[in-house]
A and B are shown apart, each in its own frame.
Chain A
């Protein structure tokens, strides 16, 4: 085991980005090739995680690294503290797995300043990996914000017609949420310092041990939950998503859907839920309602879209609703289902955006009405598209089925039963909007003369779809590979949340409200 495996993995793309800077602009192929190689190497660096059996038995953080970073005595301390457990494991691997595919997908699509594009992709990878492995809230926040910048440029420079609006909206939405979270993070830190539990930096493990008064938890939870809800995105904070997705270049959309959205759900599992279990309990009806609305609303709006990319974007809102519902169920079925659904969504929606990218590169339109009968012209494309469509709908035998089914089962067995029942209709809606779209695009007569000239997928395009297809079936047929490594950590998380909730129900509010909660009289009136 390499001792600094996670650091190496996280910062290797950054090093790659620096290397790109010295390659001249006109060496387009070299720039693309180097980026591809860097992302593939990063994937191989992360691969030992997938084969490590320690995750099947231990819920603890593995591959941990700890260095003092900033130490200002009683002011504050920040540590470079990273590690990975069963929850972040698959998200890390998903990231390193999707990145080479995203790079390969832009081989011909991006013409304008390709160097900048590739640098942004690599910076983004460092930001995402760093956020998934951070065990110190301050460090997490740095990576969390770091992700914003490359994505902003990806949308703004290489995006579609409305890119400026979409990019600025994406940036400001996400930043507002995270800034409020920053205040909450600082607050929790000084709260921990005062209660003597957390003298050692912004360590999450220390923060877990805090007992925070429920009324105080409410506010802190809201700040965290708001920030993550924007990222997920949960209804009604989702409006940035269709814009960002539609305008982003293919690689941007793939990464946004496959990984960035998972930041939000991951944030709930890692921070918002275990840190503030009582507040979670209080807000459960609201959160479950929003998740359910997201499922139904996302599906209904997706149904009405005449732009394929927008349709896929709204389907994300719906799918992420299932993930949230599964997580909020707070039992192993729901959690594991939600967790797996995160990976699934990354694979199938990532694949869908690639597919949209394929036809857009050929026709420069994404309007459903422009197509029809493509199946005859492009048989390989049709087959792959169909498999991915089934996976997105959740047909048994594909990955989507396992995740959605378990998430719903979990929710059904918990106090969220009524929500699970309503949400189930979302599965049917998904079938409607996906199959209807598939039918309109692929079947029927091949009337449009433009479509009669279309070429089927080439070797590069097939290459980047094959790995995704493998996982569609792997997860669909034998999901245990994934479950066995996430279960211990999920059980620990469930225990963490539930035990605190029960304690709170038995003896409510033993800890007096912190005096810090009330601003001093001097400033309080304004």
Chain B
């Protein structure tokens, strides 16, 4: 017992958890600020939160090419984690920028919202830098619990309540699977450390074929596939995405998804590399299923948030293609794609935040008719995001898809790449429907309520610039993603 304690103390390295540490401290400080600020007086917690995030970003950047390890191999702040940390920070900043106006409009100008976003981000960071099943699980729980609250944040709104409860019940259930998987894998390998597990399995290949190991891998995958929103574990996404407050939806579909991918990639490549043949064939099927389910059902939707929810499922499918390829290009493609998706999806949601009325009942294809004429600038921005989501050059969506499909082709998964691009072709239809509503239909609304609030506009501008930057001169970020992939 004494020994263990000593080991733990020797491995304390706050540098390895510095980003999430800073962020958690900021979040707690902000909680106090909101708790002690006088009633009726506005404290600009959102800007404080953004400053906190920028500081965290700066701290994270310090770890680039200077990896930090600590806590008995439980966390590693390497390039991989840093890249994802930056994605989370970008996502959180954009989310916060679009939240203030939105919360006011919907009648919940509550400061607690921002610390919760920060806690979620800190949890995501734990997941990306976790190199032990326990630390990853810890991060996942921090992330999930904050998100449960955020999804149900509008406590007097039925849809939001439903979203929160649904997400909580199903999420708790999937966590059960995940834990069970972890337990089985621990039983098989005798450790929860990813690297040790990988070494152990390599040395004892017979254990890999043991049903316990396989079952462990499957249950573990179920937990992550749920978080990613991959078919057949996608059922919760549409309702939750539609019901949750729009900025929360935006954040969930980007940062939370990226975090799950980060942990999933690390576990599969580091600990379960020996089972690669098994998990690639599993994920091959699931990737195709996810793309098809997401795209086909999206075609039938008329609510724009729901369209984007199903499209988010499809995008998880594209990213899974990179995981199936499991080569350097495919894996760094996931990193690049997650960043690209974060920018274009958050941008699209930011436009929706401005376009929505209180209660957001107007965010349907019909309600969007003529939006492009009444709000030309927002229309152009939305067009850019939609073309990027379609994967058309010269946008981030195209380079991202190119990156991932190139990985698949190089790894020999030609059919997967073909199915992927055919699915993109299907997706054109529903993205075009939004555009048809925006430009080809006569306006039925005057959109007079739409005000270009500076914070949201900043978020949109950042996203547009990012989408074009990653689309026209993607070289630098691609090179960075190459350095950040786990091999």
Contact = CB atoms under 8 A, between A and B. Distances in A.
B313 interface: no
B425 A179 contact: yes
A196 interface: no
Given A176-B422, A180-B421, A523-B280, A149 B387 contact: yes
A518 B436 CA distance: 41
Contacts of A153: 439
A156 B383 CA distance: 14
A168 interface: yes
B394 A146 contact: yes
Given A186-B409, A190-B410, A75 B478 contact: yes
Interface-centre pick from A149, A163, A186, A189 (highest chain B CB count, 10 A)? A186
Contacts of B440: 156-157, 163-164, 167
Interface in B232-279: 277
Contacts of B328: 75
Interface stretch (B66-74, B412-420, B446-454): B412-420
A142 B332 CA distance: 22
B279 to A, nearest CB: 9
A183 B475 contact: no
Contact of B393 (A113, A145, A522): A145
Contacts of A113: 373
Nearest to A159: B440
B143 to A, nearest CB: 31
B394 A142 contact: yes
Contacts of B432: 152, 168, 171-172
Contacts of B227: none
B280 A183 contact: no
Contact of B413 (A141, A182, A189, A523): A523
B10 interface: no
Given A146-B393, A168-B429, A519-B414, A183 B439 contact: no
B285 interface: yes
Given A142-B394, A153-B439, A520-B412, A72 B478 contact: yes
A117 to B, nearest CB: 12
Given A73-B482, A149-B387, A182-B402, A176 B425 contact: yes
Contacts of A176: 422, 425
Contact of B324 (A167, A172, A180, A523): A523
B479 interface: yes
Interface in B328-360: 328-329, 332
Contact of B421 (A73, A149, A182): A182
B93 interface: no
B477 to A, nearest CB: 10
Contacts of B288: 526
Nearest to A179: B421
Contacts of B284: 522-523, 526
20 contacts: A69-B473, A70-B475, A70-B478, A73-B479, A75-B482, A76-B406, A141-B393, A145-B393, A153-B439, A156-B436, A167-B436, A168-B432, A172-B432, A179-B425, A180-B422, A182-B421, A516-B414, A522-B277, A523-B280, A526-B288
Given A190-B410, A522-B280, 5 more contacts: A70-B475, A70-B478, A72-B475, A183-B418, A186-B417
